[in-house]
Amino acid sequence: MRPIKTFNLSNILEYYLTNNDVLSEYDLLLLRHGISILLQDGSEMISALIFGAFMHRTIDALIFLICFCSLRIYTGGLHARTPAGCYCGFMMMFAAVLGFCSMSIPVFVSAILSMISALYIILCSPAEHPLNPLTPSQKRSAKQHALVLTLTGLIFESVLIYLKPACIKPITAAFLLNCILMILLKCSGFLRGRKDARR
């Protein structure tokens, strides 16, 4: 019996692009980075959806992922140092989100948490990572996108309060988690600055 050969699609693509002078070396590095991010984020999303389905919370998982991921692009916040840390951290946070969604929280409490988190996001986004500084136009664009997405989420949550109140918790969790990650980034920068000042 012959062993089955497995082909790495990214290696085949890289071989084609480099040998045919389609891309420069810099463009090739960007492509490699983009493919690795796509694979990493894709694995997180698929794992989260499978975990949500296993816990019988597929709708909650889907609503949370759409709201959280679309906001996270523009709000910034704390990031893990390694892809493995990112995956493990995301899955732990996602498990906490599903736990939050399964709790019996009054609708008005959920709405208040959403409004406080949304207000912080609107006022303080984007939370800028020191290793990835943004230009003034990038900051302005991120702030505008965060504002539009946050207001859209609040409107959607308001509609759900009347139609299906049980479905507002994943939106609240998305706002709350984005807000927490922004605060954690600012606190870690503040603590790092204090340690540097003592030296």
**For the chain, what is the mean pLDDT?**
82
Q: What is the pLDDT of residue 117?
A: 95
How far apart, in whole angstroms, are the C-alpha atoms of residue 64 and residue 173? 7
Q: How far is CA 26 from CA 14, 29, 109, in A?
A: 13, 5, 50
**pTM of the complete model beyond 0.95:** no
Query: What tens digit of pLDDT does each residue of 43-83 get?
Result: 788 888 899 999 999 999 999 999 998 898 888 888 778 87
Cβ atoms within 10 A of the Cβ of 91, count?
14
Q: Tell me which residue of 8, 11, 73, 63 sits closest to 41, measured CA to CA.
A: 73
pLDDT tier at 130, thresholds 50, 70, 90? confident
How far apart, in whole angstroms, are the C-alpha atoms of residue 31 and residue 13? 10
Q: At residue 16, does pLDDT exceed 70? A: no
Of residues 75 and 8, more confidently modeled:
75
Q: At residue 111, does pLDDT exceed 60? A: yes
How far apart, in whole angstroms, are the C-alpha atoms of residue 147 and residue 33? 28
In Å, the largest CA–CA distance within the chain is 67
